[in-house]
Amino acid sequence: MEMTEQQTADVRFPDVQVQLSGKDGNSFSIIGRVRRALKDAGHADAVAEFTREATGGDYDHLLRTCMAWVDVS
């Protein structure tokens, strides 16, 4: 699914794509996939901030944070 211009503008790193559907839904697994994708895309400096934000709430907060930081499918 292609993102609209508005959705792209709302995502911090739209160049980083992470597939969550059909994968392990465990919180730690999701965080690990996003962290790895950020590092692989050259955004290693953002990993600690993402992790702090992603772990600052419940499971829904984690998913919303992922969608705000990367292109999630």
Tens place of pLDDT per residue across the chain (73 aa): 454 554 556 899 999 999 988 888 899 999 999 999 999 999 999 999 999 999 999 999 999 999 999 999 9
Answer whether residue 37 is part of any domain.
Answer: yes
Its pTM stands at 0.85
Answer whether residue 5 is part of any domain.
Answer: no
Residue-range definition of the domain harbouring residue 36: 28-73
Answer whether residue 2 is part of any domain.
Answer: no
Count of domains observed in the chain: 1
Q: What is the pLDDT of residue 41?
A: 98
| Cβ-proximal residues to 18 (8 Å cutoff; 6+ apart), any chain | 33, 34, 37, 66, 70, 71, 72, 73
Answer whether residue 21 is part of any domain.
Answer: no
The SS3 of residue 38 is: helix
